[in-house]
Structures are given as C-alpha cells and as structure tokens.
Structure 1
Amino acid sequence: MIYTAMALFGFFLWCSLQPVEIIAIHQRENYSDVLVKNFPFTDKGKINWWLDNKNNLKEKYGIPKPDSDGFFTIIFWDFGEGYKEAGKYDRMCFEDMKEKRSCIDKNVLFIISNDRNNDMLFVGDNGTYRLNKNGEITKLKRESD
C-alpha cells in the first residue's frame, strides 16, 4: 500500500513539473478556446499560471480578445488524445478548421472571464474566484453555501 501511495505521489509530482503546452487556440468572437496539455491540477495552480503567463498569451496569441463592451472569455480545454472526428455525443468542434478531425472531447480545465466591474473571474474545479483591481483574489460563495 505504501509503495502505491509513493508511486502515485511521484507520478503527480512528475506531472506537476511538466511545463504547460499550448497546442492550439481557436477564436470565436470574444471567446478564446485554448487547447493545452500538462495544465496545473489545482485551482490555485491554474490561477497562478494565468497570472504568470497572461502577458505572454497577449503578446504571442493576442488573447484575450474583448468585444466592444470589453467582455471576454478564455476557456482552457484538455487536448487529451488530440483532434477527433465529430460523431461522439459530447465533443467540442472548431468551425475554423476544415479537416474532418476538428473536434476534441469536452474536458474544460479552467475558464477566465471578466465581469461588469472589469474584475477577472476564474472558474476552476473547486469554485469561482474573483481577482479585483487591487490584486486580491477571493473565492465567491455559491447560493447554496
């Protein structure tokens, strides 16, 4: 049992040390779909990765691309096993691709958007967080909390 736990810990440590790989970016008006591999596991890791890489993403890929009101959404998708053909029930297909294999299995890892106050919102596995203009990050309470 202890060897299994050590092996799992080692595997997760190894995975967490792999750099995030951006495979492709697909744009739909003010929505940016970013296909990635090796994305951080935790919400905190995802938010920190964004904060560390947002300027590079803007310079290299031109995202986010806000609409005329300033609103935008960036969705990070797990690239998983790569592009696939449409046909399976729950696949995200990209209309900007002409190939038959233009879809991925829907596995959202992280969503970033901005709100009416121009604060940044992050949606992760364990909740929604707000980054306000002062640089403070707070976890938003759900209605049922």
Structure 2
Amino acid sequence: MRVKLVLLVMAGVLIGYASWLLLRPVKIVAVHENRHFSSVLVNNFPFTTRGKIEWWLQNKDMLKERYGIPKSASYGDFSITFWLFGDGYKEEGKYDRRCFDDMKTKVNCIEKDITFSVSKSENLGVIFVVEHGIYRIDKNGKIAKVNID
C-alpha cells in the first residue's frame, strides 16, 4: 500500500512538472534585425515541430505589431531565426557564436542554438525549418513536409 502511494505521488509530480514545461509561455528576450533577416531570442520555446509551427501561426500577427517583423525585402522575401537565449549574452570569445552588430557592447553574442526558422521566398512560399525537417505551406494552405532526396 505504501509503495503504491509513493509511486502515485511520484507520478503526479512528474505529470505536474511535464505539464509546467509544456505550458510555459514563450518569452521573447530580444529581437535583432539586419535588413530582411531577423533574429528572435527566446526562452521556453515549444519542443515539438508541431508546437513550433502552431506557435508561429498563432503569434505572427503579434510579432508584426509588437516588433515589426518580419520585414520583407523589396521583392517580398524574409527570414526569421528563433534562437534559444540560454545563458544570455556573452563576449565573442568562443569560436562560432552568433554576435549582433546592433549592440554597442562586447557582450553581444549568444551560443548558436537555433530552435526554429521561418522564411518566405517567391519560389517556395513560407518555409519552416526545424531540427527534424523542412515544412512548407502548400497551395491549399496545408502544412506539408518537404522531401529532400
């Protein structure tokens, strides 16, 4: 009886922790821009491919209103990269950090930890790049995985 109670409490704690992880709101720490390329530094970004794409679809208007992104080039293309902010800004020091020239300080770099990117081009339309593949919105408005062979 006592073992069952301990297991039940442990299961409840694990379910509660997993729910907390999955339901935390995305925090946008900063936005850096270079013409039609934007970098968005985030914490608590969704874990799954579906969650990332859904988050974009639900928040693209907010990003436009609040941060003015995406900024399209004259020919319509744009690119937004979502980076995990992690331990925050650091000095360039280490090889291959992503540094932002729009910050006038030596502490203007982050670890290169891309979690998601969205781009639009005339030929391909809207493309989502995640760790496990590339997806696009097809002509019917459906999201489909791009097969690269």
Q: Does 1:22 align with 2:28?
A: yes
- 1:58-104 C-alpha deviation (Å, 9 max, x unpaired): 01111000111111100000000000011101210000001111000
Q: How does 1:1-145 map to 2 (within 5 A)?
A: 10-117=16-123, 119-143=125-149
Say which one has the larger Rg: 2
For structure 2, the 5+ residue unaligned runs are 1-8
* In structure 1, distance between residues paired with 2:98 and 2:13: 34
The answer as to whether partners of 2:137 and 2:144 remain within 8 angstroms in 1 is yes
Deviation of 1:117 after TM superposition, in Å, equals 3.6
Residue by residue over 1:16-54, the C-alpha shift from the partner in whole angstroms, topping out at 9 and shown as x without a partner, is 110000000000111000000000001100000000000
With over 3 angstroms needed to count, the CA separation of the structure-2 counterparts of 1:115 and 1:8, relative to structure 1, is farther
Aligned residues: 143
Greater shift in the superposed pair: 3-12 or 28-37: 3-12
Question: Which 4+ stretches in 1 moved above 3 angstroms?
Answer: 3-12
RMSD: 2.0
CA distance in 2, matches of 1:92, 1:5: 40
Consecutive unaligned residues of structure 1, counting only runs of 5 or more, are: none
Per residue, is there more helix in 1 or in 2?
A: 2
One-letter amino acid matched to 2:138: N
Using structure 2 for the length normalisation, give the TM-score. Answer: 0.87
State the TM-score, normalizing by the size of structure 1: 0.90
The secondary structure found in structure 2 opposite 1:23 is strand
C-alpha distance in structure 2 between counterparts of 1:5 and 1:39, whole Å: 25
